[in-house]
Amino acid sequence: MTSSILVLGAGMVGTCTALHLQQRGYEVTLVDRRAPGQETSFGNAGLIQSEAVEPYAFPREPGFLLNVALGRGAEVNWHARGLWQMAGSLLRYLHHSHPKRHAQATEAYSRLIAHATEEHDLLMTAAGAQHLVTREGFRFVFRTAKALEEAAQRAEDLRVRFGVRSEVENTVLLAQAEPALRASLAGAVHWLDPWAVNNPGALVQRYAELFVARGGRLLTGDAASLQPQGAGWSVQTHEGRVQSQQAVLALGPWADGLIRTLGYRFPLFIKRGYHQHYRSPAQLRQPVLDAERGYVLAPVQRGLRLTTGAEFAPIDAPPTPVQLAKAEALARDLVDLGESLPEAPWLGARPCTADMLPVMGPAPRHKGLWLNFGHAHQGFTLGPVAGRLLAEMVEGRQGWIDPLPYAPARFM
């Protein structure tokens, strides 16, 4: 008899999980309250970051932290209520960001990142989505020679340790590579192997269409209605209550709310982020991170997308796009942004964990329940890897990547 499984959440992570389970013969129902890929996986910078072998650590430089505390700079914004709510997890994040522990997290993180582009490639080909992606890397650009030099050293270190390929460009080479950059910059690190997706939400939709074309069931429903039923699980959908033998929670930044109702307290938190589109007359060729200022400019189908750094605020707090205004002013130095499109700024939330590793594996106290969330700054990159790893665990197969470092039980 075919085993049935529910996947709750149709962002990049849930949709890829559904595809991989389906590929292994499971009868899969993918449930979301919205259409696939309409939340965090919609509004990100669209980078498939094969260079991001190190998870994003808690910044420790005193000058940076002082700027954050005083509300200066564009990188970070915070709401007092958000900091208060997340204080416990943030303290643990600081603890895990100690260089020794960060190096351990990097070992585990880099093993996932190593497969990101090849796993996306397989799904993109099957989904007919190759036209959404360019494979020319992206740049960290630097305003000062000192920062460029430090970045060049780090890039060399990543090459030696993880085989991450990059080229360092001086002012002249950068100006030739990206004529749209009008500020005189010290130079750039051009990461050669990452990919850029020009419509991240559309990529998730393509993956979801592939899932449906292969016989998968995609339903609208509320994950909060999940209940144990008999030996399995059930959830309420617009087509009635759906039952299955197993269930996967892939709710990205909303995972914490649901797992708390099941009695779990994991050190999770979110980093909110905004985007805005500009009509930029002079388009960039590849995305750039203004590395000393902390925002990304990415050429996408709708124009030039500016995405912001981290905002520590409750997930449901009203938008406060102050970082967007600051980043826009900085970006206008770099490129001719032109007018912004007449639309409200987009707001999303990176689903983060204190130890910087995603939560992937069996729920420790609930039979037949699986967790797949917490992919933080690289969930768009890691969706297909996370989906395959989780599906192999459900299948009871091991060997591709050791799942132990990501096990939910590490927090118990």
Ligand X SMILES: Cc1cc2nc3c(=O)[nH]c(=O)nc-3n(C[C@H](O)[C@H](O)[C@H](O)COP(=O)(O)OP(=O)(O)OC[C@H]3O[C@@H](n4cnc5c(N)ncnc54)[C@H](O)[C@@H]3O)c2cc1C
Q: Whole-angstrom distance between the N-terminal and C-terminal Cα of the chain?
A: 34
Q: Does 10 bind ligand X (CB under 6 A)?
A: yes
Bridging pattern class, strands 4-8 and 246-249: parallel
Tokens of 54: 């190190």
DSSP notation for 187-217: EEEEESS-EEES-HHHHHHHHHHHHHHTT-E
Of the pair 61, 316, the CB lying nearest ligand X is at: 316
Shortest Cβ distance from residue 144 to ligand X (Å)? 24
Which residues are registered as beta bridge partners of 2?
none
Tokens of 341: 């499109």
Which residues contact residue 390 at a Cβ distance below 8 angstroms, ignoring those fewer than 6 apart?
Answer: 17, 20, 21, 248, 360, 361, 370, 372
Give the integer Cα–Cα distance in Å for 330 and 323: 10
Q: Does 233 bind ligand X (CB under 6 A)?
A: no
Q: Does 299 bind ligand X (CB under 6 A)?
A: no
Q: Which of residues 50-69 bind ligand X (CB under 6 A)?
A: none
From 43-51, 211-219, 236-244, 329-337, span contacting ligand X (CB under 6 A): 43-51
Of the pair 181, 306, the CB lying nearest ligand X is at: 306
Of the pair 186, 210, the CB lying nearest ligand X is at: 210
Angle, vertex CA 212, rays to CA 207 and CA 215, nearest 5:
135
Q: Does 378 bind ligand X (CB under 6 A)?
A: yes
- Residue 101 CB burial class (10 angstroms; 0-12, 13-18, ≥19): middle
Binding residues with ligand X: total (CB under 6 A):
42
Q: Which of residues 174-203 bind ligand X (CB under 6 A)?
A: none
Q: Does 11 bind ligand X (CB under 6 A)?
A: yes
From 7-15, 102-110, 314-322, 397-405, span contacting ligand X (CB under 6 A): 7-15
Task: List the one residue from 28, 152, 208, 223 that touches ligand X (CB under 6 A).
Answer: 223
Q: Does 377 bind ligand X (CB under 6 A)?
A: yes
Q: Does 246 bind ligand X (CB under 6 A)?
A: no
Give the residues lining the site for ligand X (CB under 6 A). 8-14, 32-34, 38-41, 44-47, 49, 222-224, 250-254, 273, 275, 307-308, 348, 350-351, 373, 375-381
